Structure 1
Amino acid sequence: MLDSLSKHLRSLQNLNQPTEHWDTLLIYILSNKLDKTTAREWEESKVKCESQTSSNNKSVPPTLEEFASFIRKRADLLETLSLTKETKGNKSRVSYHNQAGENQGKDNIKQVSCIYCKQSQHFIQGCPEFLNLSIEQRTQAVNKHHLCVNCLRNNHNVRRCFAGPCRKCGQRHNTLLHVDKTNTSVNHVSSVSNVPHHSSQVINESIPLQTLSYCQKSSEPKVLLSTVLVNVEDRFGNLQMCRVLLDSGSQSNFITSDTVKKLGLTTSKVDISVTGINQTTSIINRKCQVAIKSTQNSFYLNLTCLVVPKINESLPNHPIDTSAWNIPSNVVLADPTFDQVTNVDMLIGAEYFYSLISIGQIKLGKGLPVLQKTVFGWVVSGPVHTGQTQNVHCHLSTSDTDEDIHNCI
């Protein structure tokens, strides 16, 4: 609901509508969409807000931001209660099976591990032994263990599977079982076999819901990625500057754990399996709500971010000499430090990427980056000639259609 509200408000703001005076109207419309229990909680919270902000014995109506804060807290509470019930249910089932027999209970617990190699550190989608098999051998293994050929789980068949289809051909089978009629896939794998990758790290056991790929390779040409500086609200409502990477190749948004600690943000549980290059797997188990505001105008955005230890190396890898670039003096850069080696605090993916892009582009010349206008200002992105060896950063984050992060809320 908050994401839809933010999206529509941005559209109205682009039409120069005075949305800053619509808090009372919007709160009334949105509160009518709440369930009875949440609506009652909001009325109690509204009374507290009015009493705390009252002056001269006159009550001050709550703001839209206070309403949004209430909704986020309420959602976190309901999620926590849901996870608690699920945990208690699992414990009850394990206890019941233990009464029937200790070995049977152990077998039920093992079902959450890899079905193929019986290891508990990963699931079959990230199993090294399974991934080393040929596609024909993988198919035989899936049939042997009576797994769903679409999602590789053992509690249903493909007719009852709600997971998304193959990402290569759109058919009802898992991408790991896709048979390519050409050798394109094989050649592609061979061409990147020398790419170094981040070692896998299992943060917490969970159900694989999402895939994240990230690779680095020393190569030509060098490309400057789009970064912006934004104001981010900390737990006390104060604004702190953060550096954000805009990436249309990611379906999710990410924030580093150091940034979460710096801002004092509250996190909640989530289970996301993250698979990198060469199928190395790690688990993301935290997410948080982040409110960002433009440093140039009144634009703001509330988004959900997955918490990761690190997004990538510092960008750019080396300082860039821009003395020969003819950047117009009237252009306000979204990241004035784009040419300096600086860490990235957040990543905004394709969910919001194209709504952040505005009309306007300036080409600096052949072999030079372009200036692209965004709601945060002008970003600098494109080829850069530094005369130094520089890593190329590639990001890809995808999630299954019916098993994305929103189903975990």
Structure 2
Amino acid sequence: MSQSSEDRNSELAKLVVRRNRIKETLNRFAEFVDTFNLSQIKELQVRTEKIEPLLDRFEEIQIEIEILDSEADGNLEYESFESQFYSLLATAKGHISQYQLKAEHNQSLTNPSLIQNSQGSSGIDNNSFIVGGAKLPSLGLPKFRGDFEKWLQFFEGFQTLVHNNPCLDNIQKFYYLLDCLEGEARKILDCLEITNDNYEVALDLLKKRFQNKPVIIKNHIKALVDMPIVSRESSQLLRNLSDSIEKHIRALKTLGEPVDTWDRLLIFLMSKKLDIETKKEWEQKSISDFKGVPQLSNFINFLNNKCHILETVESNTKGTIKQGYSGSQNSRGAYAAVGGSNVKCEFCKGSHFVYFCQKLLALSVSERLREIKKLKLCFNCLRSSHTASECRASGCKRCRGRHNSLLHLEKQINQNFGNGRLVNKDIESGRKNKPEEADTVHACVDGVEATEEQFVAATSYSNPKEASQTILSTALIYIKDNKDNYVKCRALLDSGSQMNFISSELVRKLKLKTNTIDIPISGVNQMLTKIDSQTESIIKSCYNNFTATLSFLVLKNITYNIPVQSFEASAINIPSNLKLADPEFNMSAKIDVLIGADLFFNLLCVGQIRLGMGKPLLQKSVFGWIISGRLVHDKSSTAAQSFIC
């Protein structure tokens, strides 16, 4: 490793440590705010004043990290910190505001003019207050959408900022209340007119609907039990798990639940949410350090320490080349993830690989040959600094010659495929067969020939002796959008893929935030597809409480419709009492999500049904019964079949 690279990694590590210190400061402030009482008001004012610059300092450090590491996941880090920061600051200022209002009210008993002097033209201005001679900024009003577990937090904030404000009359308070409500909570008050008396009526309606302590407790417990599984070692996923545990435990404690006696139960439930490596480390630590009887605080500290370690490691290792293979070179799951911060096209000087260069692909093969020769690039891998005779890369995917598939001029190819026959007539590399030629396909598919949004290749053939097709496992699942609502979509379950994928159409529909990346993915026959964005979301079963947080690479089209052709489900004779993961598995339809091997085998349950010779099998899963395998149709069928690779 070069000296400059070592210096950069050393600087990154220092920045990550500084960022962690800021997080720890905010966590200590959160503990103080949670246990605050009015006798500590002076200390709260001092702490709040010291806390306010934290967000700017955190942003500065995060920007420095992103400058040194262009692949750092800055959005998630900053949004998580920002959300916690503003929530705590609002709560702290609410306590201070409440104290200030009480003080002003007491003074007004002897000097009524104080109320008139402090009252502004806008109710929002009334939420500004003076501490130590300095006017603090206005507080934004809290929002409430109808989540039971968020009711107490909302109502306490609203009481502090609006309800207990002596400068507002009931009609003003009613307007502010309506402004705070969204979704289901707002609908409850749609039938009420805005009058002085109806303000109290509105509050009573909301309390009867949402201030239901047993339901709130139940929802917090349910949130703990249904917490998403951490599918891989990730500082962000583990941090989300740790923060969520602490949030719900604090809420339950506030509601009077004896959570201090739940340590063993909570540790058992939460350890099942960990990825395999982290779970192994926890079990070892539990036995060696705590003699098998750890407390919940030990578990939380373990998660936080693991997050610190992973954050340091991730900051040091990002930007290096990573390669992974699943099975043979032609495996559908094989991929190569390459850091693209220094990628430069030799032909057009753009920031992409030369084999994705649209200007080069627009040329004929003979013109490409001339340009590659002029640039003195290797004819085999299209890179500089060596010749084709010295190149270690595999050759042409069509003729196995020592040249790149982009530089291959196809002649006629005849190849037996089972009992059918493939014919591919004189075509240039980069041009596709016409879709109506059902018996004509490319003998092999190379990524430089496919469009960047295509991830899988399809080959079609017609078998006059036996018509069959392979059914791939599909399921209907829920996926969470940017407003925490679940939307139903269709998923392909693929144990041969090392990555998870989501269609760009679904990303737009869910309004998910994406991160910019530059990674080529390798598939069938080393077909390369350029990936430029990544996102994360939570998936959920339609039949039970199974959830998982997954990271997805974004593609315009994940695959062709599956199955390629619809068929009669009655041909399989599926038992009528089974709940199918995809009730319309036999209908050709688009795929929204592809779930890869990192989660695939965790989805399977005990239970398998074989339907007989020439029929697929049924496998029980958390999504319902999935169908997979070869289906032999009636011999009279002569329809062209398609294979998704």
TM band (smaller chain): 0.5 to 0.7
- Would you say 1:394 and 2:394 are equivalent positions? no
1:121 aligns with 2:358: yes
Does the 8 Å CA contact 1:113/1:122 hold for their aligned counterparts? no
8 A Cα contact 1:152 1:174, kept in partner: no
Identity %: 30
Cα deviations by residue, 1:89-131 (Å, 9 ceiling, x for unpaired)? 98xxx9xxxxxxxxxxx98973967779xx943899xx9959x
> Partner of 1:46 in structure 2?
84
Kindly provide the CA deviation profile for residues 222-260 of structure 1, in whole angstroms up to 9, marking residues without a partner as x. 111100110000111101100001122322222111111
Question: Does the CA contact (< 8 Å) of 2:566 and 2:587 recur in 1?
Answer: yes
- 1: CA distance between counterparts of 2:578 and 2:498? 30
Query: In the superposition, relative to structure 1, how do residues 391 and 307 fare at CA in structure 2: closer, same or farther (>3 Å)?
Result: farther
Cα displacement string for residues 176-228 of structure 1 (whole angstroms, at most 9, x for unaligned residues):
48999xxxxx979996854257963357xxxxxxx954223134421111001
SS of residue matched to 1:272: strand
- 3-state SS of the aligned residue for 2:457? strand
Superposed counterparts of 1:3-402, under 5 Å: 35-38=17-20, 40-41=22-23, 43=27, 45-46=83-84, 48-49=86-87, 51=91, 53=150, 54-55=152-153, 57=156, 110=349, 120-121=357-358, 153-154=383-384, 173-176=392-395, 193=424, 194-196=440-442, 200-201=450-451, 212-219=455-462, 220-274=467-521, 282-323=529-570, 325-384=572-631, 385=633, 387=637, 389-395=639-645
Q: Which amino acid aligns with 2:441?
A: V
User: 2 CA distance for matches of 1:263 and 1:108?
Assistant: 38
Q: Look up the match of 1:99.
A: none
Deviations 1:116-164 (A, max 9, x none): 9xx943899xx9959x99xxxxxxx99x9587x9x8754799xxxxxxx
Single out whichever of 107-116 and 348-357 deviates more from structure 2. 107-116
User: 3-state SS of the aligned residue for 1:174?
Assistant: coil
Q: Which secondary structure does the structure 1 equivalent of 2:627 belong to?
A: strand
- Counterpart residue number, 1:136: none
How far residue 378 of structure 1 moved from its aligned partner, in angstroms, is 1.0
Cα pair distance change 1:188/1:153, threshold 3 Å: farther
Q: Is the 8 A contact 2:348 2:357 kept in 1?
A: no
CA contact (8 A) 2:501 2:595 kept: yes
Contact 1:230–1:241 (8 Å) recurs in 2: yes
Map Cα deviations across residues 303-362 of structure 1 (whole Å, 9 max, x no partner).
222222222232223433233544334422111111223221111122322232233210
Task: For 2:18 and 2:416, locate their aligned partners in 1 and report how far apart those are by CA, in whole Å.
Answer: 55
2:483 maps to a residue whose letter is F
Contact 1:252–1:350 (CA under 8 A) maintained in structure 2: yes
CA distance in 2, matches of 1:156, 1:376: 51
**Distance in 2 of aligned mates of 1:317 and 1:356:** 25
Task: Give the number of the structure whose alpha-carbon radius of gyration is greater.
Answer: 2
The structural deviation recorded for 1:364 is 1.1
Which runs of no fewer than 5 residues in structure 2 stay unpaired? 1-15, 28-80, 92-141, 143-149, 158-216, 229-235, 242-310, 320-340, 401-413, 425-439
Considering fraction of residues, name the structure with more helix. Answer: 2
Which amino acid in the other structure matches residue 218 of structure 1?
Y
**What code does the residue aligned with 2:563 have?**
P
CA distance in 2, matches of 1:337, 1:122: 42
Letter in 2 for 1:290: S
- In structure 2, do the counterparts of structure 1 residues 361 and 107 end up closer, same or farther at CA, with 3 Å as the change threshold? closer
What SS class does the counterpart of residue 381 from structure 1 fall into? strand
RMSD over aligned Cα atoms: 5.4
Contact 1:254–1:347 (CA under 8 A) maintained in structure 2:
yes
Checking the alignment, whether the CA contact within 8 Å between 2:455 and 2:558 is kept in structure 1 is no
Q: Which residue of 2 aligns with 1:404?
A: none
Q: Is the 8 A contact 2:455 2:529 kept in 1?
A: no
- Deviation of 1:36 after TM superposition, in Å, equals 4.4
* CA positional deviation for 1:372: 1.0
Q: How far apart are the structure 1 equivalents of 2:577 and 2:477?
A: 20
Secondary structure, aligned partner of 1:323: helix
Larger mean CA deviation between 384-393 and 258-267 belongs to 384-393
Kindly indicate whether structure 1 or structure 2 has the higher relative contact order, using CA contacts under 8 Å at least 6 residues apart. 1
2:292 equivalent in structure 1: none
Aligned residues: 303
The 8 Å contact of residues 114 and 122 in structure 1, kept in 2 or not, is answered as no
Over 3 Å counting, the alpha-carbon distance change for 1:115 and 1:335 in structure 2 is closer
- Residue 46 (structure 1) shift: 3.3
Q: CA distance change for structure 1 residues 155 and 312 in 2, over 3 Å: closer, same or farther? A: same
Check 1:325–1:393 CA distance in 2 against 1; reply closer, same or farther (3 A cut): closer
CA deviation profile, 1:2-41 (whole Å, cap 9, x unmatched): xxxxxxxxxxxxxxxxxxxxxxxxxxxxxxxx85415635
SS of the residue corresponding to residue 509 of structure 2 reads helix
* DSSP 3-state at the match of 1:175: coil
